[in-house]
Structure 1
Amino acid sequence: MTTDVRSPVSADDRQHDNPNHDRRWLVLCIVALAQLMVVLDSTIVSIALPQAQQGLGIGDADRHWAVTAYALAFGALLLLGGRIADFWGRKRSFLVGAAGFAVASALGGIAQNGSQLFAARAGQGVFAALLAPAALAILTTTFVAKKERATAFAVYGAISGGGAAVGLLLGGLLTEYLDWRWCLLVNVPIAAFAFAAAAPIVAETRAHGDTAYDLPGTVLVALGLGALVYGCTEAEKFGWASAQALGFIAGGLAALAAFVFVERRATNPLLPLYIPWNTNRAPALLGSVAMGAVLIGGTLYLTFYLQIVLGMSPFVSGAAALPLTVAITLAAGIATQLSVRVGPKLPMAVGPLVAAVGLLLLTRIEVDSSYATRVLPALIVLGLGLGLLIAPMQNMALVGVRDQDAGAASALVNATMQVGGALGTALFTTIYVAAKSGYAGSHPGAHPFATEVSGYIDVFTWAAVLLALISPIVVLLVRADKDSLPAEGAVGLH
């Protein structure tokens, strides 16, 4: 999501110029509700996916699209969504985003096959890319006094961090006691309530000045990312050296290269290129990609292991994954204090290595492993490592960014996490299928669950490698110290 964090607001802010000031706490409640819906929608579907796969007859190689379609559409269109919200109107964008999200959720809830489910999830991502930046832009323009803004952003940040945990538990409850379809249908009343509350309460605001949209840049980045993801899925079917896989991957890279060319010459670029081309922000953005891949893509296979192999119910498996969220939250607080005292480099360098150790601990799983001795310790270590990375990574997104580009910079770190999730899910699916095939070929007659576990172990191994590569990049490139961090807090993540 786009976090429209602006420069520090002076004490003489003109609150009478803010049309939402008198109703600002009601506005906060509405924005918080929309934020919760967007955040929980990734984990809530992950918990329901084993049942959805069985109910709709989706193959193992294709089931990842239920996660990938949402993350890819969300991440690819997030920057444009922020621009639309600012130029077209934040309230209008919020209402359209909420209505569209509800419709897409309803279509997903009544899907009759995998293709319909995947299309609905992509639709959710499209409207989330409009809803999420509009919600935060409303929050940012509504709370202008420093102390009240700090309170509002604390609420917003708590929901961003806790939404994943809510999604795990709610998804487990709905799947176990109702039906997996309710993991999508539950969004309809939530979005409808947010729409009905916002319409009479929230006043319209919009940005002024140059309101031209960078449509060529939007098309190129969406095509490029989509081709990369699809190329990874084709590699599973035809091999990495196949014309299908290489063609789509090469096409995706070409589109992204064209995006850079267009952005260099655009008068109102979707993404000012000085933002990613920075020795401090580049490692943070790469860390965001890796963390998205692990959180959205890698832990999807943890859900499969808990439910398919260990036989946990959806609700119990959701509860079993909660220690990961708790550990992330605790470590993020520690990392924030470390960043203030010694700078962001230390926690950013150590965090990925700790998280990689947690993933390597997960490679010890077996068909009959104990959750308490094999899974739980790994989740705690993984969460601590990710938490050490996430807090300084968010703050680094704004180091050295011009005030007028703060929204684009904070949107970028969120977009890279979603794109990392989409690419990671597709890549890990290819690794999982290849590992299963290799194990079945070398172990004829092996128990099906043993074949499944072999695939999960390879996914966790490569996820650990991906995260570990971030640390030397941080050590080599990051130069920011504690005095470089922005004064107005961190970026909110989805």
Structure 2
Amino acid sequence: MNTTTPTTSTTPTPPTPRSTRRWAALAVLALAQFLVVLDASIVNIALPVIGEHLDMDTTTLAWVITAYVLPFGGLLLLGGRLADRYGHRRLFLIGTAGFVAASAMAGLSVTSGMLLGARALQGASAALLAPAALALVTHLFPLAKDRVKALGIWGAVAGIGSAAGVLLGGILTATLGWEAVFFVNVPVGAVVLIAIPMLVTRDLPAARTRLDYAGAATVTGSLVSFVGALSSAERLGFLHPLTLGLFVAAVVLGAAFIVIQRRTEQPLVPLGVFRNRNLSIGNVVVLLVGAGMVALFFALSVYLQAVLHYDALTAGLSQLPLAGALVLVAGVVPSIVARIGTKTTLIASLLVLAGGLVWLSMSPADAGFVADILGPSLLIGIGIGGALVTATQVSVDGVDGGESGLAGGLVNTSQQIGGALGIAVLSSIAAARTGALEAAGASTGVAMTAGFSLVFLGAAGLTVLGALTATLLRTSTGDTSPATATVQTGQVQQV
């Protein structure tokens, strides 16, 4: 037994129920999370049409994505801490309201500047919404058995949101116009805003602590600089002066943040939280899975349309088997965890995912859906379904109520940083491979297929690295109550 003395009572206090209809509350929270994840990808299909209507060139169109990702990834830790400070339900509702308003503004945009401003507000609002939502889930389901089931639904929703972006983006753009990819958030968000106050109790008064403004400024600047550097690398290359400058800024601000956290009495991110090995390793795995998953969905959608000549709707429909497998597996993960434990489930899921990615990398330039795409898609869906649920579970393992917003912010930050890293690195490798083959005289289809093959293999490599990292987990989680491993005022108590 390894313990450190906590500053609070060692007798666990029974958690106060936040809802008498917690499964209904979970469904509404998951719906909001679905919108956040969906919005990172649904816009991709609509970009060409947006460019025509708002007179935006290719470089400016890239900022329609970047303007959302930068504040979202950069403000997540601050959003999580604000939720712990001012109340999880309160910050969730504020974030959702901002997201709905920004979505309406985006759909009404008549200039590129208006659209980019709306996208930035969407990202900032999502940074408040996402960690607060995950914190509420941990409060609604304090017992590990129920929490695994809840996170199974949560993980399925996150995976479906990523996979559904192409499908819904194509349908909405083709039938209702590009504005619909933003307007769709408004009625759904309104339902969330009405339902949550009826399903989740008000936040209890939190201990009044000073907000670490210096820490908030440096970590936000570091994360924004890092995500911006990765976005710049994707478009301009890793050696471009802008990319290098942003990387340097990210490192300098990150170092300053660590110094500030060590010296501040009430830090934004108590460094002691990382003594929880499962939390730390879980976030690394989430980062690696996020890197591979975002690169996968980007490359797969382009491969289906640019190489196999699927239209947008067909490309979206072709990902339904993947999404279906993901949902089914996420639903049975709790029973699997009960039999073999979280650690084994996580490693097995990651290896299945890696196997599907390697299989997909063998698809030729004239691939048939049934012969070449369906099989690996099913394996990928199975792997993502199991990995997302269990990785999220270990990432919030042993975190008490006062740090749950922070834990949610860390999980979402890891996934966003991983996604930005994966798309920047793997797409650059793919572009170099494609360019080299085209210069050597290969056809465009063959050259692009070879490039995408490297993306899928790279994603498989990241997934295997995630499986190796998961072997370092201290114990198989999911069989204990959160009271057995808590983080209290920055100190870890593990029994």
Q: In the alignment, does 2:484 pair up with 1:472?
A: no
Identity %: 36
> Once structures 1 and 2 are overlaid, which stretch shifts more, 170-179 or 191-200?
191-200
> Once structures 1 and 2 are overlaid, which stretch shifts more, 277-286 or 149-158?
149-158
CA distance in 2, matches of 1:62, 1:436: 24
Instruction: Say whether the 8 Å CA contact 1:294–1:421 is kept in structure 2.
Output: yes
* Equivalent residue for 1:481, pick from 468, 476, 485: 476
Q: What letter corresponds to residue 297 of structure 2 in structure 1?
A: T
CA distance in 2, matches of 1:8, 1:168: 46
CA distance in 1, matches of 2:339, 2:370: 35
Q: What letter corresponds to residue 462 of structure 2 in structure 1?
A: L
- Classify 1:304/1:154 alpha carbon distance in 2 versus 1 (closer, same or farther; 3 Å): closer
CA distance in 2, matches of 1:274, 1:339: 28
Deviations 1:315-339 (A, max 9, x none): 3222211222223334445554443
- Classify 1:234/1:90 alpha carbon distance in 2 versus 1 (closer, same or farther; 3 Å): closer
Query: Residue 463 of structure 1 corresponds to which residue in structure 2?
Result: 459
Query: Residue 228 of structure 1 corresponds to which residue in structure 2?
Result: 226
Q: What letter corresponds to residue 474 of structure 1 in structure 2?
A: A
Deviations 1:260-310 (A, max 9, x none): 222222322222223335443333211101111222333112112223333
1:42-53 alignment, distance < 5 Å = 42-49=40-47, 51-52=49-50
Q: In the alignment, does 2:216 pair up with 1:218?
A: yes
CA distance in 2, matches of 1:399, 1:290: 18
Q: Secondary structure at the match of 1:299?
A: helix
CA distance in 1, matches of 2:58, 2:187: 31
Q: What letter corresponds to residue 475 of structure 2 in structure 1?
A: A
Query: Residue 361 of structure 2 corresponds to which residue in structure 1?
Result: 363
1:61-76 alignment, distance < 5 Å = 65-76=63-74
- Classify 1:110/1:442 alpha carbon distance in 2 versus 1 (closer, same or farther; 3 Å): farther
CA distance in 2, matches of 1:178, 1:237: 30
Shift of 1:182: 0.9
Q: What letter corresponds to residue 417 of structure 2 in structure 1?
A: V
Query: Residue 407 of structure 2 corresponds to which residue in structure 1?
Result: 409
CA distance in 2, matches of 1:435, 1:114: 33
CA distance in 1, matches of 2:352, 2:22: 41
Q: How many residues align?
A: 473
Instruction: Say whether the 8 Å CA contact 1:101–1:123 is kept in structure 2.
Output: yes
- Classify 1:478/1:194 alpha carbon distance in 2 versus 1 (closer, same or farther; 3 Å): closer
Q: What letter corresponds to residue 390 of structure 1 in structure 2?
A: L
> Once structures 1 and 2 are overlaid, which stretch shifts more, 199-208 or 120-129?
199-208
Instruction: Say whether the 8 Å CA contact 1:229–1:426 is kept in structure 2.
Output: no
Instruction: Say whether the 8 Å CA contact 2:66–2:231 is kept in structure 1.
Output: no
* Equivalent residue for 1:262, pick from 253, 260, 265: 260
- Classify 1:48/1:485 alpha carbon distance in 2 versus 1 (closer, same or farther; 3 Å): farther
- Classify 1:206/1:165 alpha carbon distance in 2 versus 1 (closer, same or farther; 3 Å): farther
Shift of 1:202: 7.0
Instruction: Say whether the 8 Å CA contact 2:32–2:189 is kept in structure 1.
Output: yes
- Classify 1:67/1:361 alpha carbon distance in 2 versus 1 (closer, same or farther; 3 Å): farther
CA distance in 2, matches of 1:262, 1:254: 12
Query: Residue 169 of structure 2 corresponds to which residue in structure 1?
Result: 171
Query: Residue 487 of structure 2 corresponds to which residue in structure 1?
Result: none
Shift of 1:54: 6.6
CA distance in 2, matches of 1:263, 1:417: 23
> Once structures 1 and 2 are overlaid, which stretch shifts more, 93-102 or 121-130?
93-102
CA distance in 1, matches of 2:257, 2:190: 37
Q: In the alignment, does 2:102 pair up with 1:104?
A: yes
- Classify 1:57/1:299 alpha carbon distance in 2 versus 1 (closer, same or farther; 3 Å): farther
- Classify 1:449/1:222 alpha carbon distance in 2 versus 1 (closer, same or farther; 3 Å): farther
The normalised TM-score by structure 1 is: 0.80
- Classify 1:441/1:225 alpha carbon distance in 2 versus 1 (closer, same or farther; 3 Å): farther
Instruction: Say whether the 8 Å CA contact 2:143–2:482 is kept in structure 1.
Output: no
Query: Residue 312 of structure 2 corresponds to which residue in structure 1?
Result: 314
* Equivalent residue for 1:339, pick from 314, 328, 337: 337
CA distance in 2, matches of 1:202, 1:339: 28
Query: Residue 493 of structure 2 corresponds to which residue in structure 1?
Result: none
Shift of 1:373: 1.7
Shift of 1:186: 1.3
CA distance in 2, matches of 1:354, 1:142: 31
Query: Residue 373 of structure 1 corresponds to which residue in structure 2?
Result: 371
Q: Secondary structure at the match of 2:376?
A: helix
The normalised TM-score by structure 2 is: 0.80
Query: Residue 323 of structure 1 corresponds to which residue in structure 2?
Result: 321
Task: Extract unaligned runs of 5+ from structure 1.
Answer: 1-6, 489-494
Query: Residue 491 of structure 1 corresponds to which residue in structure 2?
Result: none
Query: Residue 123 of structure 1 corresponds to which residue in structure 2?
Result: 121
Q: What letter corresponds to residue 430 of structure 1 in structure 2?
A: S
Instruction: Say whether the 8 Å CA contact 1:64–1:425 is kept in structure 2.
Output: no
- Classify 1:287/1:9 alpha carbon distance in 2 versus 1 (closer, same or farther; 3 Å): same
- Classify 1:321/1:30 alpha carbon distance in 2 versus 1 (closer, same or farther; 3 Å): closer
* Equivalent residue for 1:427, pick from 422, 425, 428: 425
Shift of 1:50: 5.8
Instruction: Say whether the 8 Å CA contact 1:395–1:486 is kept in structure 2.
Output: no
Query: Residue 292 of structure 1 corresponds to which residue in structure 2?
Result: 290
Q: What letter corresponds to residue 337 of structure 2 in structure 1?
A: S
Give the superposed CA RMSD.
3.9
Query: Residue 93 of structure 1 corresponds to which residue in structure 2?
Result: 91
Deviations 1:143-199 (A, max 9, x none): 899999999878766655654565554333212222233111211233344445667
- Classify 1:87/1:298 alpha carbon distance in 2 versus 1 (closer, same or farther; 3 Å): same
CA distance in 2, matches of 1:8, 1:172: 50
Q: Secondary structure at the match of 1:276?
A: helix
Instruction: Say whether the 8 Å CA contact 1:332–1:388 is kept in structure 2.
Output: yes
CA distance in 2, matches of 1:28, 1:384: 23
CA distance in 1, matches of 2:238, 2:282: 29
Instruction: Say whether the 8 Å CA contact 1:101–1:128 is kept in structure 2.
Output: yes
- Classify 1:393/1:231 alpha carbon distance in 2 versus 1 (closer, same or farther; 3 Å): same
- Classify 1:31/1:482 alpha carbon distance in 2 versus 1 (closer, same or farther; 3 Å): closer
Q: What letter corresponds to residue 267 of structure 1 in structure 2?
A: E
Instruction: Say whether the 8 Å CA contact 2:88–2:405 is kept in structure 1.
Output: no
Task: Extract unaligned runs of 5+ from structure 2.
Answer: 1-10, 484-495
